[in-house]
Chain A
Amino acid sequence: MNFAVLQFPASNCDQDCLHAVRVIGHSASLVWHKESSLGVADAVIIPGGFSYGDYLRCGAIARFSPVMQAVQQFASQGGLVLGICNGFQILCEAGLLPGALVRNRSLQFRCEQVFLKTLAHDSPFTSRIPANKTLRIPVAHGDGCYFADTATLAALKANNQILWQYCTAQGEVTDDANPNGSLLNIAGVCNPNRNVAGLMPHPDRACESLLGGIDGRTLFESMASALIRKAA
């Protein structure tokens, strides 16, 4: 399967995403933000970074780039799209995911390992994550506090769209385990059709034991597995 990894001015995890896909045995190629076509792509990854310098709001300018028009079309046809960190912010700005990411509660840039609880295993992004497994994955962001209004949060819960919550190493969802003040400890969500997802933590930075762990691989393996099932 081929994963298209988008590249904006000031993307900085594009190479990590390429590596993450290749290390699980699939191919990945970069797509520049000025392209109006995704080329041969089975799935799209929008990597982390500071696209367009985070000017105006994180993701606000990237969301109008030519490549994002292609992503909108790809997603509307059921294509798998994963946004990581800045990619999550871009997907929220684009309206492909509900809610928004605002400044961390602490006003500090948080760069550390966090633990994630997976709430729904029936999505193309989580199917290969073992049940009851707490993922250890790093975060690195200043604007990762998830906000949505009460009605949106209720809909997210009702439709099982909350895919990951920040938790302790033991899997308990507590305020202390929340690195940024996200409502309901939300670390990642998907859209109602479950083909677009985003999360603030970096699974792409958790794909090598040498670099601290391989828990992140399970996300990419879930996507690959969903694509293979779809193609069969």
Chain B
Amino acid sequence: MKARVTITPKRAVLDPQGKAVQNALEHMGYSGIGAVHVGKFLEIELADGDIDERRQKLDDACRRFLSNPVIEDYRLEIE
């Protein structure tokens, strides 16, 4: 069982990395590029067990530790 956590900056937060990547893509000639947001991706290996319980605990970890709710949003997927 694996969990995947995707963390992205909140839209209201200045994202100079995203802006720099967007500018570079445009400079390279890739057309149709809109705003880019640079975040983080975590892959967490899980011991087998109750998926709902794992999800609940990891969701707690996402809120308390893996993301900072002041500046980031997260998406948690377990498979």
Contacts and interface: CB of A to CB of B under 8 A. Distances in A.
B71 A64 contact: no
A181 B14 contact: yes
B70 A107 contact: no
Given A102-B14, A145-B14, A93 B68 contact: yes
Contacts of B17: 103, 107
B71 A102 contact: yes
Interface residues of A, number: 19
Contacts of A93: 68
Interface in B1-44: 9, 12-14, 16-17, 20, 40
Interface residues of B, number: 13
A111 B61 CA distance: 34
A93 B66 CA distance: 11
Contacts, number: 36
A148 B69 CA distance: 11
Given A60-B65, A64-B65, A103 B70 contact: no
A107 B16 CA distance: 7
Contacts of B66: 56
Interface string B60-75: 0000011010110000
A99 B70 contact: yes
Contact of B68 (A60, A145, A149): A60
Nearest to A148: B70
A102 B68 CA distance: 11
Contacts of A64: 65
Nearest to B9: A102
Interface string A123-156: 0000000000000000000000101110000000
A147 B13 contact: yes
A34 interface: no
Contacts of A60: 65, 68
Nearest to B69: A100
Contact of B16 (A56, A57, A103, A147): A103
30 contacts: A56-B40, A56-B65, A56-B66, A57-B68, A60-B65, A60-B68, A64-B65, A92-B70, A100-B68, A100-B70, A100-B71, A102-B9, A102-B14, A102-B71, A103-B16, A103-B17, A104-B16, A106-B16, A107-B16, A107-B17, A107-B20, A145-B14, A147-B13, A147-B14, A147-B70, A148-B70, A149-B12, A149-B70, A181-B14, A181-B16
Per CB-CB distance, the 9 closest pairs between chain A and chain B, nearest first, are A100-B70, A100-B71, A107-B16, A147-B13, A105-B16, A100-B68, A102-B71, A147-B71, A181-B14
Interface of B: 9, 12-14, 16-17, 20, 40, 65-66, 68, 70-71
Given A99-B70, A105-B14, A147-B71, 7 more contacts: A56-B66, A64-B65, A93-B68, A100-B70, A100-B71, A106-B16, A147-B13
